[in-house]
Amino acid sequence: MKVKYFAWVRERIGKAEETVEPPAGVRTIEDLIAWLSQQGETYAHAFERPKVIRAAIDHAHVRPDTAIAGAREIAFFPPMTGG
Amino acid sequence: MTAIVTIRIQEQDFDTAREIAALSHGRTDIGAVVSFSGICRGNDSGEEIAALTLEHYPGMAEAEIMRRAEQAMARWPLSGLTVIHRHGRITPGQNIVLVVTASSHRQAAFEAAEFLMDYLKTSAPFWKREESAGGESWVEARAHDDEAAARWTRS
């Protein structure tokens, strides 16, 4: 699945998007955050405060316990500051 | 007549008067138009700001604003609404965002404009980066913006 990062999450990880293939046990958004956090120091830094991170599946906001099965595009970003 | 919904995410500036005219032109059922312009401030909590750079999530930004526009249309009897949000580098005094709502009566137009702005602040995927003498930093989300958005889900 494709994963996108925005704002300081993107900066800390050092890339805007990538394709990831998490193992079968990674079922939800919070599982995916926990798994990504183990993919290196930059990821650990980006996700060091998982409760702050917001997520979207296929362009819609989702909660941490949302299942990721069938997702085409998942995005992680800080709380929004537009408007 | 059917309601006109316009949502644009763009780098270039917009003309508020033109957008208001576009929404109400040739119609006699509209009795109220409310517009809100969000403008880049030259200082934030006493610190001088040289510029803001707005990052956004293309695709989701349009989709999320459309979902909020549909909620507004379902909640208030609107004749039309326009939301324009800029991205890229914006300097103090320049426009950032525009919300225009039109209805037969003022209350619906006022409330819908406020509803849309509250959700643009908290749920549209945009992030502001601030340039000041002290360097660059991401703007922190504010709790009072979340509280402002939350009031629409009460009562």
Predicted ipTM of the assembly: 0.96
CB B53 within 8 A of CB B102: no
Does pLDDT of A65 surpass 60?
yes
Q: What is the CATH number of the domain that holds B25?
A: 3.90.1170.40
Would you place residue B1 in the very low, low, confident or very high pLDDT band (cuts 50, 70, 90)? low
Contact B68, B116 (CB under 8 A): yes
Q: Domain ranges in chain A?
A: 2-77
* Separation between Cα atoms, residue B85 and residue B61, nearest integer Å: 9
Q: Which of A8, A59, A77 sits opposite B59 (nearest CB)?
A: A59
Question: Could A56 and B125 be called an inter-chain contact, meaning their C-beta atoms sit closer than 8 Å?
Answer: yes
CB contact under 8 A, A4 and B57: yes
Q: Which fold has domain A2-77?
A: Ubiquitin-like (UB roll) (3.10.20)
Residues B94 and B15: beta-carbon distance below 8 Å: no
- Overall number of domains in chain B: 1
> Within the 7-36 window of chain B, which residues sit less than 8 Å (CB to CB) from chain A?
none
pLDDT over threshold 90, residue B3: no
Domain with B127 in it: 4-150
Range B100-135 burial, b when 16+ CB lie within 10 A, else e: bbbbeeeebbbbbbbbbbbbbbbbbbbbbbbbeeee
β pairing state of B126-132 and B47-56:
antiparallel
- The angle at the Cα of A31, spanning A28 to A35, to the nearest 5 degrees, equals 140
Q: Is residue B155 part of a domain?
A: no
* pTM confidence score: 0.95
Give the closest residue to A78 by CA, choosing from B55, B116, B95.
B55
Does B85 map to a domain? yes
Closest CA to A56 of B118, B9, B57, B116: B57
Q: Evaluate whether residue B122 is within a structural domain.
A: yes
User: Over the stretch B33-87, which tens digit does the pLDDT of each residue have?
Assistant: 999 999 999 988 788 999 999 999 999 999 999 999 999 999 999 999 999 999 9
Nearest Cα neighbor of B102 from B15, B35, B9, B37 is: B35
